[in-house]
A and B are shown apart, each in its own frame.
Chain A
Amino acid sequence: MSMKRQKIIRLTLTYLVVLVMFIIILYPLAWIIGSSFNPGQSLSGSSIIPKNATLAHYKELFDMEKSNYVYWYLNSLKVSILTMIFTVILVCLTAYSFSRYRFVGRKNGLVTFLILQMIPNFAALIAIYILATLTKLIDTHLGLILVYVGGQIPMNTWLMKGYLDTIPKELDESAKIDGAGHLRIFFQIVMPLATPIIAVVALFAFIAPFADFIIASILLRTEKNYTLAVGLYDLVAKQFGAEFTTFAAGAVLIAVPIAILFLSFQRFFVSGLTAGGTKG
């Protein structure tokens, strides 16, 4: 009997913990969704389930004359997608040459990449700021994308090189004997086999610029050029209490699509990050 009682106690405690965690996780999310439907600009007198729910704040965000929110959204998508494309191209090329060729300087190159991936690329933010000013790349998305892509290369090169190393070299050697050139081996033999890791790198390269605040806040100067992170912070920091409900609507519009996207790609994330951790 005691076995059974033990089991009941254990399961009850488990469900209790899970319940508490559900509340802790869902309460902030419910609060922000509720706030976004609350009438009025500030939160005083608001409640999670608003009495006179309104879509006014969402409409306000899409009013291009009053709000830059749509610009921010498009900017973020543009920067993230372009960063993703360039990162994938450059990382494929560097990782492939590190994995498949033995050339002078390879060892030093790998060690350099290893050290560079340890230093967060915003550590040199003063330099990035001054350089961008000098090259007139300040307040442009091009400058931002270049910094993001450069920062992504070392870590993702290691990640992808680790994966490419597991694709047997006999494959490209036999192709070489059959007369395939360098480019042909790269495009038609190795890259198709590397699709899973390309997906992981693409995902990382998309998410990182989307979530970045620090570099974007240094480089972007005019409100229309802001990305979502900078814009949303601006919305909050300027007049905190005063525009909180608008902010809430903006936050919901980011969180929902990203969360859905994320949950559908979740497997990739876990496998990618674990691989990145063990492979260096």
Chain B
Amino acid sequence: MSKGEVSYTTSHRKKALALSIIPGLGQIYNKQILKGVSFLILSAAFILVFKDLLNIGLWGLVTLGEIPFEDHSIFLLVYGILALIVVIFGLGFYLFNLRDAYKVGKKRDTHEPISTMKEQYRNLVDNGFPYLIMSPGFLLLVFVVIFPIIFVILLAFTNYDLYHSPPAKLVDWVGLKNFVEIFKVDMWRQTFFSVLAWTLVWTFVATTFQVALGIFLAIIVNQKDVKGKAIMRTVFILPWAVPAFVSILVFAGMFNESFGAINRDILGFFGIDGLPWMTEPMFTRLALILIQTWLGFPFIFAMVTGVLQSIPQDLYEAATVDGASNLQKFKNITLPLVLFATAPVLITQYTFNFNNFNIIYLFNGGGPAISGQNAGGTDILISWIYRLTMTSAQYSKAATLTMLLSIIVITVAIWQFRRTKSFQEEDMM
């Protein structure tokens, strides 16, 4: 029988597929006894082991418990997600079983030889190897990263907070109520938009400052006739070399209003009265931007220095011959080359500062407090979420805000990655 012809004399593939509704039977029908038996045993074990989890989990996921003190809604939610993950894995195996039975059946229909036991083993080793070696990492990822993300997404649609806290109270599904409240209830809306506004200003100003300073310093140190380049480069890297949490805490001490060096030594030296760095939001914000500039410019400096050293000198020589001024050389040669080479990294700097929890929290705990809102004066979205979770137990609202924040980050990131070249490369995927 020639290949490509549609009519088969036998219909093993259909029979095998139909029998495979119970995993393994199709394989046995295809005379792959060992494979079929192991499939059968596997699926029986699967049902036996996960029966209870699936039962409780799926029930819990829908109801979130019915009797206070007896049903713990949050545990049920966790079991529910586990059950979901198990179901997905189970379905994957089931589909694989159907596909396998159909494929082997088709081979029999076209009278191709079915692989022997030995070949099956080889196939399993060859095709299974990538799955085998990545399964530890993948499993960890599922439980430590993906599981929490699903949990947060689901939590955003519940009313889990201090007043609906298991075991005394049950948690319920509330649909989009949290999202509606954030945009409708005055207190939430005002806080959300003022925090979002400061987050954006913070991200933009602090990052731009550190990038500009880093590029500027790299360029002036890289001038041919500047002496002592090595020592300059070492010192300019120092703020990066010291762990950020240490520097931030040190700065928190320096900006302290009563004993800090800024008020006492520096401003005192110039005869200026101490400034309210920690109690006046505007001053705290200014301090934060200055500190982030201090912390962040060395990385840009190091990177741009690398780029500058790779720019061929003949470009500048040719420009000199053409009578270009230093400013023209900078504008038309240096800057475009530097920006082109570092653009992707610069964008990651913006996304980093958008979620730069450490500096906000360690410097002044997101404070000072502001009346009329439940976020501090310098809280960015991520530190506000932390505050809602850890101090006021507003879990569902925190989850809702996390979702909004993730949407922003992912949108920006996808936009960025679609522009980078590696994303479009043929073999990347």
Q: Tell me the minimal C-beta distance from A138 to chain B in angstroms.
A: 13
Q: How far is the CA of A44 from the CA of B141 in the complex (A)?
A: 50
**B261 neighbours in A (Cβ, 8 Å):** 27, 31
Question: In the complex the two chains form, is A119's CB within 8 Å of B410's CB?
Answer: yes
| Beta-carbon nearest neighbor of A93 in chain B | B133
The one of B239, B249, B259 in contact with A233, judged by C-beta atoms closer than 8 angstroms, is B249
Q: How far is the CA of A248 from the CA of B247 in the complex (A)?
A: 11
| Beta-carbon nearest neighbor of A119 in chain B | B406
Q: Is the interface of B mostly helix, strand, loop or mixed?
A: helix
**B241 neighbours in A (Cβ, 8 Å):** 258-259, 262-263, 266
Whether, in the assembled complex, B54 has its beta carbon less than 8 Å from a beta carbon of chain A, the answer is no
Question: In the complex the two chains form, is A94's CB within 8 Å of B138's CB?
Answer: yes
Whether, in the assembled complex, B114 has its beta carbon less than 8 Å from a beta carbon of chain A, the answer is no
Q: Tell me the minimal C-beta distance from A170 to chain B in angstroms.
A: 15
**B242 neighbours in A (Cβ, 8 Å):** 29, 255, 258-259
**B427 neighbours in A (Cβ, 8 Å):** 165
**A182 neighbours in B (Cβ, 8 Å):** 125-126, 129
Q: Which of A88-111 contact B (CB under 8 A)?
A: 90-91, 93-94, 96-98, 100-101, 103, 106-107, 109-111
Question: In the complex the two chains form, is A103's CB within 8 Å of B131's CB?
Answer: yes
**A130 neighbours in B (Cβ, 8 Å):** 74, 78, 151
Q: How far is the CA of A17 from the CA of B223 in the complex (A)?
A: 13
The one of A90, A114, A186 in contact with B417, judged by C-beta atoms closer than 8 angstroms, is A114
Whether, in the assembled complex, B384 has its beta carbon less than 8 Å from a beta carbon of chain A, the answer is no
Question: In the complex the two chains form, is B136's CB within 8 Å of A210's CB?
Answer: no
Whether, in the assembled complex, B373 has its beta carbon less than 8 Å from a beta carbon of chain A, the answer is no
Question: In the complex the two chains form, is A29's CB within 8 Å of B410's CB?
Answer: no
The one of B152, B239, B344 in contact with A123, judged by C-beta atoms closer than 8 angstroms, is B152
**B429 neighbours in A (Cβ, 8 Å):** 106-107, 110-111
Question: In the complex the two chains form, is A210's CB within 8 Å of B149's CB?
Answer: no
Whether, in the assembled complex, A177 has its beta carbon less than 8 Å from a beta carbon of chain B, the answer is no
| Beta-carbon nearest neighbor of B425 in chain A | A165
Whether, in the assembled complex, A254 has its beta carbon less than 8 Å from a beta carbon of chain B, the answer is yes
| Beta-carbon nearest neighbor of B99 in chain A | A104
Residues of A bordering B, CB below 8 Å: 7, 10-11, 14-15, 17-18, 21-22, 24-29, 31-32, 35, 42-44, 90-91, 93-94, 96-98, 100-101, 103, 106-107, 109-111, 114-116, 118-131, 134, 146-147, 149-151, 153-154, 157, 162, 165, 182, 186, 210-211, 213-214, 218, 229, 232-233, 236-237, 240-241, 244, 247-248, 251, 254-255, 258-259, 262-263, 266, 269-270, 273-274, 277-280
Residues of B bordering A, CB below 8 Å: 74-75, 78, 125-127, 129-131, 133-134, 136-138, 140-141, 143-149, 151-152, 155, 217, 220-221, 223, 225-226, 232, 234-247, 249-254, 256, 258-259, 261, 294, 299, 302-303, 306, 326, 342, 344-345, 348, 351, 355, 357-358, 361-362, 365, 382, 385-386, 389-390, 395, 398-399, 402, 405-406, 409-410, 413-414, 417, 420-423, 427-429
- Write 29 A-B pairs (CB below 8 A) sorted by A numbering: A18-B220, A22-B235, A25-B239, A29-B238, A29-B242, A31-B250, A43-B259, A93-B137, A94-B134, A100-B130, A111-B429, A122-B382, A126-B152, A126-B395, A130-B74, A134-B75, A153-B141, A210-B243, A213-B361, A213-B362, A218-B390, A237-B365, A240-B256, A241-B256, A241-B259, A259-B242, A278-B420, A278-B421, A280-B417
